[in-house]
Structure 1
Amino acid sequence: MLSFLLSTLLLTSAPPKTDWRTPYERGNGNTTTTYAECIRYYQQLDAAYPEITMRAAGFSDNGLPLHEVVVSLDGDADPASVRAKGRRVVFIQNGIHPGEPEGIDAAMMLARDYVQQKKLRQQLTHVTLVIIPVYNVDGSLNRNSTTRTNQNGPESYGFRGNPRNLDLNRDYIKQDSRNARSFAQLFQRWQPDVFVDTHTSNGADYQHVMTLIATQKDKLHPALSQYMQRQLLPALYSGMAKRNTPMTPYVDFEGRTPDARGLRGFLETPRYSTGYTTLFNTIGFVTETHMLKAYAPRVKAQYDFLELLVQAVGQQKDALAQARTEAQQQLQTQTTFPLAWKLDTTAAEKTAFLGYEGRLKPSDVSGQPRLYYDRKAPFSRQIPYYNTFRPTVQVQRPVAYLIPQAWGEVVDRLRLSGVQLRRLRRDTTLTAEVYYIQDYKTGQRPYEGHYLHSAVELRPTQQPLAFRQGDYVALLDQPAARYLIETLEPQATDSFFAWGFFDGILQQKEYFSDYVFEDVAATLLRQDPALRERLEKLKQQNPAFAASGAAQLDWIYRQSPHYEQTHLRYPVARWLGGALPTVE
């Protein structure tokens, strides 16, 4: 009797079994976890399972930490150690747009299932999973139910902008946010093989729950591009189809409806997450679940895709490793790099598309014809998919870039992205190739806090330049070579020049008073007959110039020693060859 009472007492005092359901799973299928709930849940997983490590990985703009979660069967959460073991690294980022939260909820369930389900655990035998639970910490705290106007749930969600009203998926190069700077350091530590950024798509109506942006194939190194197209993407598309969630490429199109002219590939430049990761030979995916589907199937689609990706990477680990190694090795000898691209509208493949017929009817608002998608008229068609891009601007690789230390904001960003920098040991004069900005266009309205430059025209020239002790040298024989080229070549789409980091060179600092310079100009023309001949020729060719005394004075000034040589001279020089004996 005593033993029975003791056993009963022990049973009644045993702690309750942990409820490992996520906040989403405990809800009604149309709710998403809050930021606090998400972090607390991962902390509980970390405390309960040695395979899961959660830690701070820098800060966000509001001072709260950016977290990383590492799922590794042997508990190894050290990036260098994981790579030394030959494991492939899959990096998942959630909540860059917190109003698109499916990935947040899906990744929480996936991390739990990897440690609780024996069958799923096997997928991590050769793979380490890294998860950013919520990237836009600040936006996730700004919850509402209205800003995603066209979206079908969840009941409440975060806001796209962060406290500085930045869209963080335009910030990977300029790194105005602390989030982006923290991400760059975390990404460089892990150097992942595959990166995924989870989103929800706006746009047309169609039957697909999931659409996908894969790293634009022509921007990837050929070895990685072939692997992605021939092995990884087929596994993902067939796997999702088997789970009754057939995918289609991201629905970006011209015309009234997607089937009118077909889909267009999305060119992710380095301002975007997968455009940035591509610069380091990382395959990138942006998952885009469809806004008009109910929230529960959208979460399931994200979960299925992420799980299938980890499975495929594990199964294809050797092919992925070989392709990535080849890409990294050949980067060292690549001589020509594309900087800008244009869609080839003559090259199209066919893709299966499950859509709805687009029709017109009178608008209840304006009375004018308006588009609607007739869900009573679904269709399945093969439609054109234009996904071939041709380079429009290319540059020859220099041996190194010479960067004056005065441009500290640029140097800081180079370091955050893993660039290896050396410094000059003493003041010296070096003859290098420099650019003069001949022309450019600037956006008339601010874009993500900057006035972007484009259509940059350059005049390259060789000239001796004075450098100071401590100025920087970035040699191109390093893994960050492509990143260096696409940020430091001013004509690149997302270069630091394009984002306005070098705007100081665009403003002239000295000038002249015309009544004084008139006599100086006359003396210059008398002393230099060739200069006068060039002036007369310009006057003959351009009547407006001939009629403007001010324009002629300005032209003579710009040809004279009085004109400042640094005006419009891009400060980063290209070292084209030879030793740099003064570099430490």
Structure 2
Amino acid sequence: MKRFLFIALIGFGPCVVAQQTAFERDSNTTATYNEVIAFYQSLDTKYQTCTLLTCGLTDSGKPLHLFVISKDEQFDPQKLHQQDKTIILINNGIHPGEPEGIDASMMLARDLLAQNSLPANAVLCIIPVYNIAGMLNRGTSRANQNGPESYGFRGNARNYDLNRDFLKTDSRNARSFQEIFHVWQPDVFMDTHTSNGADYQYVMTLIDTQVDKLHPAIQHTASAFTAELYKRMEISNFGMVPYVNFRGRTPESGLVSFFESPRYSTGYAALHHTFGYMPETHMWKPYAQRVWSTYTLLNHFITLADERATEIHAQRKRAREQSKTQQQFVLTWELDTAQYEHILFNGYESNEKPSDVSGFPRQYYDRKKPFTKEIPYYNRYKPGITVEKPYAYVIPQGWQDVADLLTLNGIQVNRLEKDTSLMLQLYYIEDYQTARTPYEGHYPHSNVKLRTDNQLIPCYQGDYLVITDQPGNRYIIEALEPQATDSYFNWNFFDSILSQKEHFSAYIFEDEAFRMLNEDAELRRQFNAAKAADEQLRNDGRAQLEWIYKRSPYYEKTHLRYPVGRLLER
């Protein structure tokens, strides 16, 4: 490590002396927020080929910054896309206690500018710090991390983990990020992190966008890009392994490709045909190694994106165009345990010994016993629930927050020009599970079961119409289809439809229920069959009245009816 650090500093010697970072002055220190912004401001002042933009507020009250490096001094994203420039977006400090990317990006941006070694076919966009409030909350909060001495906190100003907020968008940070994302439309994306968990020999591990989730037009490009990243990191003496997410008790049981749903940054990027990476340095390696491995990976990432700009840009255009006419979409995925490959893994032997605290067995990794073993890597997922897209979704205007989020994400949302009635396919929520404890400010739903019903629904001037012939179809589907992993429904956007608004008084409804059963033989048959099949119903008089009430004309049609309708035909 010392040799690599020495070479890096010598290579950029004059610039380093003129403008050192806090990390370069002390390798177990990370920059403060004010130091980071001042550093980028000084680069903006010094070089014509870069600019520091402010792009909306965060929950801290401070703006989100974007530092852009463009060799041609062109900073208009629309013109850059017209020139077929590949847009690279790097996000740092989403978890400020994992600050390697913050320090590495500062040094790399400076070194690229000082050496005039800027990408010719790509433009580099860097978010210096995403979770500003977390970075301002400086101290020590990660018990299992080896430095730096002081750093930021994981939660933001509202105590959200911002890497769970990309689809639900509770924070102002997420709103500002999405504005950046859809103005600049990045082709490739990287979000820098630090891992926790098992011990092993690697400094750097990597989560890459799960390839099965990507549009087929871009799958090969993304896979080849990832393979080349691994190759170049190996040559740079920072050999990588997939993120150490394993099936059993130790990594030897086999690694599992981390499935990043749209709540995560790279999962969100994939909805828009951007393939992404989440590097995770090993928390117990010295901080200097973690920063330089991140620096090295970012450098290779930028170089590769520049070299393959034409292919990346062309295939992503293809994916966006083909998505307009794509008919079937996958809502849930399942790990394919029948498909796996073997990879070499450099780990440490794991064993148990009595705990000095409790006396019970505790796990430990023995760094005196390194090993290299061939282990299985499960990196394929197969479709679970799939859905056929409708011609359009109709959203009642009372759900404006939903329409606003769609618009924020580059989705064209129209308004009905006059009152009309439409034959819509509607979902009724038959069953679902809800988390028993809060998670990121919500009690998320899962395992949603639906039934469908076609109804003629009155729609009104101003209601929203989302026609599904857009490049953003995948975002539309995964946000609006209730069974999708991170759908708006699962994040509680529509919970008011789950509660019944009208009920009955038993002493009055008893007579009406008796009349209904006497006058409707089919209802009576179904009622008797239901009692015969359900002991609980058979032994509960109130439940029997409820069963009849739900089949009466008084029971509200909107209870458990998902308000977003599917217009199947034009």
Which amino acid is the alignment partner of residue 328 of structure 1?
A: R
Task: Indicate which of 549, 555, 573 corresponds to 2:565.
Answer: 573
1:138 matched to which residue of 2? 133
2:226 matched to which residue of 1? 233
Q: Evaluate the alpha carbon distance shift between residue 446 and residue 375 of structure 1 in structure 2; reply closer, same or farther with a 3 A threshold.
A: same
Task: Indicate which of 284, 301, 312 corresponds to 1:320.
Answer: 312
2:105 matches 1:76: no
Aligned partners of 1:58 and 1:182 also within 8 Å: yes
SS at match of 1:255: coil
- Normalised to the residue count of structure 2, the TM-score between the two structures is 0.96
Using the TM superposition, give the Cα deviation of residue 107 of structure 1 relative to its aligned residue in structure 2, in angstroms. 0.6
Aligned partners of 1:169 and 1:272 also within 8 Å: yes
2:403 matched to which residue of 1? 411
2:243 matched to which residue of 1? 250
Aligned partners of 1:402 and 1:574 also within 8 Å: yes
2:172 matches 1:178: yes
SS at match of 2:331: strand
For 1:268 and 1:419, the matched residues in 2 are separated by: 22
Which amino acid is the alignment partner of residue 151 of structure 2?
A: Y
For 1:243 and 1:128, the matched residues in 2 are separated by: 24
Q: Within 5 Å, give how 1:285-324 maps onto structure 2.
A: 285-324=277-316
Aligned partners of 1:211 and 1:247 also within 8 Å: yes
Q: Could you report, residue by residue, the CA deviation over 1:102-160 in whole angstroms, capped at 9, with x for unpaired residues? A: 00011111111111114x32xx1001000000000000000002x11100000100000
Q: Within 5 Å, give how 1:491-506 maps onto structure 2.
A: 491-506=483-498
1:331 matched to which residue of 2? 323
Q: Within 5 Å, give how 1:33-432 maps onto structure 2.
A: 33-118=31-116, 120-121=117-118, 124-145=119-140, 147-229=141-223, 231-259=224-252, 261-432=253-424
For 1:544 and 1:55, the matched residues in 2 are separated by: 64
For 1:18 and 1:302, the matched residues in 2 are separated by: 18
Using the TM superposition, give the Cα deviation of residue 17 of structure 1 relative to its aligned residue in structure 2, in angstroms. 9.7
For 1:136 and 1:385, the matched residues in 2 are separated by: 33
Task: Indicate which of 517, 523, 534 corresponds to 2:509.
Answer: 517
SS at match of 2:214: coil
Task: Indicate which of 21, 29, 32 corresponds to 1:31.
Answer: 29
Aligned partners of 2:15 and 2:111 also within 8 Å: no
Task: Indicate which of 525, 532, 546 corresponds to 1:540.
Answer: 532
Aligned partners of 1:22 and 1:41 also within 8 Å: no
2:8 matched to which residue of 1? none
Percent identical pairs in the alignment equals: 52
For 1:553 and 1:113, the matched residues in 2 are separated by: 75
For 2:317 and 2:54, the matched residues in 1 are separated by: 30
Q: Could you report, residue by residue, the CA deviation over 1:529-555 in whole angstroms, capped at 9, with x for unpaired residues? A: 221222122223333323322122111
Aligned partners of 1:22 and 1:108 also within 8 Å: no
For 1:258 and 1:107, the matched residues in 2 are separated by: 30
Aligned partners of 2:321 and 2:471 also within 8 Å: no
Using the TM superposition, give the Cα deviation of residue 425 of structure 1 relative to its aligned residue in structure 2, in angstroms. 0.7
Aligned partners of 1:490 and 1:498 also within 8 Å: yes
For 2:481 and 2:129, the matched residues in 1 are separated by: 33
Q: Could you report, residue by residue, the CA deviation over 1:29-48 in whole angstroms, capped at 9, with x for unpaired residues? A: 11000000000000000011
Aligned partners of 2:21 and 2:106 also within 8 Å: no
Query: Structure 1: any 5+ residue segments left out of the alignment?
Result: 1-15, 579-584
For 1:516 and 1:25, the matched residues in 2 are separated by: 76
For 1:234 and 1:536, the matched residues in 2 are separated by: 63
1:5 matched to which residue of 2? none
For 1:546 and 1:89, the matched residues in 2 are separated by: 64
Q: Could you report, residue by residue, the CA deviation over 1:212-266 in whole angstroms, capped at 9, with x for unpaired residues? A: 000001111122121121x21121111101110000000001322111x110110
2:430 matched to which residue of 1? 438
For 1:395 and 1:186, the matched residues in 2 are separated by: 30
Which amino acid is the alignment partner of residue 348 of structure 2?
A: Y
Using the TM superposition, give the Cα deviation of residue 91 of structure 1 relative to its aligned residue in structure 2, in angstroms. 0.2
For 1:325 and 1:387, the matched residues in 2 are separated by: 26
2:458 matches 1:460: no
SS at match of 1:174: coil
SS at match of 1:473: strand
Using the TM superposition, give the Cα deviation of residue 25 of structure 1 relative to its aligned residue in structure 2, in angstroms. 4.3
Aligned partners of 1:221 and 1:281 also within 8 Å: yes
Residue range with higher mean Cα deviation, 61-70 or 529-538:
529-538
Residue range with higher mean Cα deviation, 486-495 or 360-369:
360-369
Using the TM superposition, give the Cα deviation of residue 480 of structure 1 relative to its aligned residue in structure 2, in angstroms. 1.3
Aligned partners of 1:88 and 1:192 also within 8 Å: yes
Using the TM superposition, give the Cα deviation of residue 21 of structure 1 relative to its aligned residue in structure 2, in angstroms. 2.9
Which amino acid is the alignment partner of residue 45 of structure 1?
A: L
Which amino acid is the alignment partner of residue 503 of structure 1?
A: D
RMSD of Structure 2 on Structure 1 (CA): 1.4
Using the TM superposition, give the Cα deviation of residue 53 of structure 1 relative to its aligned residue in structure 2, in angstroms. 0.6
For 1:278 and 1:253, the matched residues in 2 are separated by: 23
For 1:173 and 1:376, the matched residues in 2 are separated by: 44
For 1:211 and 1:424, the matched residues in 2 are separated by: 49
SS at match of 2:192: strand
> Runs (4+) of structure 1 moved beyond 4 Å?
16-19
Aligned partners of 2:426 and 2:566 also within 8 Å: yes
SS at match of 2:299: helix
2:477 matched to which residue of 1? 485
Using the TM superposition, give the Cα deviation of residue 19 of structure 1 relative to its aligned residue in structure 2, in angstroms. 5.0
For 2:86 and 2:397, the matched residues in 1 are separated by: 37
Using the TM superposition, give the Cα deviation of residue 319 of structure 1 relative to its aligned residue in structure 2, in angstroms. 2.1
Query: Structure 2: any 5+ residue segments left out of the alignment?
Result: 1-13
SS at match of 1:429: strand
2:7 matched to which residue of 1? none
Q: Evaluate the alpha carbon distance shift between residue 332 and residue 18 of structure 1 in structure 2; reply closer, same or farther with a 3 A threshold.
A: closer
Residue range with higher mean Cα deviation, 397-406 or 527-536:
527-536
Aligned partners of 1:209 and 1:247 also within 8 Å: yes
SS at match of 1:451: coil
Aligned partners of 2:85 and 2:313 also within 8 Å: no
Which amino acid is the alignment partner of residue 398 of structure 1?
A: P
Aligned partners of 1:398 and 1:574 also within 8 Å: yes
Which amino acid is the alignment partner of residue 414 of structure 2?
A: R
Residue range with higher mean Cα deviation, 526-535 or 191-200:
526-535
For 2:190 and 2:244, the matched residues in 1 are separated by: 18
In the alignment of these two chains, the number of paired residues is 557
